[in-house]
Amino acid sequence: MGKRILLIDGDQTMSEAINTTLGSAGHRVQVETSGADALEVFSPDPYAFDLIVMDMGLPDISGLLLAEKLLKLRAHIPIVLLAGPEGQAQAKTRDSGIRWFSIKPVSMTDLIETAEKALAGVERSGLLRPCFGISTVIPLLGNPLSGLLEQLNCVVRLIG
C-alpha cells in the first residue's frame, strides 16, 4: 500500500511533476505551496503523513526552519529536502536532523529512490510501530516517557 506524503514546494511546475511521479509509484500525495500552509495541514495530526518531501527555498520560510518546526511536532518523520546545487545545503541538512536530500534539478527516478530509502530507513530502524492499526513513531532512544505519550496521543486520536 502506498504511503502518505506531504509535498511542500512553491514551484507549481515542480510540484506537479513530483506529485505525478510519487502518485504513479502508488503513494498518496498532498501538495502544499508554502510553509504556512504545510504547518496548517501537518500540525493537527503529524501522524497523518509517512514522509515529507520539501524544497529548501520556499516562498515564505526557509526549508530548514520549516523542517525544524515539523520535527518538533513529530521528531522522527522522514524528510527529503530538495536543495539547489549550492552545496551548503547538505552540511546544514546533517545538523538539522534531516537524513535524506536530493540536489536540484533532481531526476524523478532519483527522487523515487530517495523517498523509498527514507521510508525503508524508518521502517528498518524499528521506529514505526502499529497503534491499533495506525502507524506511529515511537522513539526507541531518549526519554522513555515519549513513547508512552505517543501511544496516548494515538488512543486520543482514535477515541477523538
Q: What is the per-residue pLDDT across 17-31, written as a single tens digit (0 to 9) for each?
A: 999 999 999 999 999
Strand partners, 129: 136
121 and 131 in one domain? no
- Print the domain residue range for 13: 4-125
- Looking at residue 99, its pLDDT comes to 76
Share of the chain above pLDDT 70, in %: 68
- List, as own/partner pairs, every contact residues 87-95 make where C-beta atoms lie below 8 angstroms and the sequence separation is at least 24, other chains included: 89/56, 92/64, 93/64
Per-residue pLDDT tens over the stretch 57-85: 899 998 889 999 999 999 999 999 888 76
69 and 45 in one domain? yes
Q: For residue 17, how many C-alpha atoms fall within 13 Å in the half-sphere facing its CB?
A: 12
Say what the pTM is.
Answer: 0.73
114 and 39 in one domain? yes
CA distance 65 to 123: 26
115 and 59 in one domain? yes
CA distance 76 to 136: 10
- State yes or no: pLDDT of 87 exceeds 80: no
Most confident among 97-101, 112-116, 145-149 (mean pLDDT): 112-116
46 and 18 in one domain? yes
Nearest alpha-carbon partner for 40 in 23, 154, 48: 48
- Coil, strand or helix: which one is 93? helix
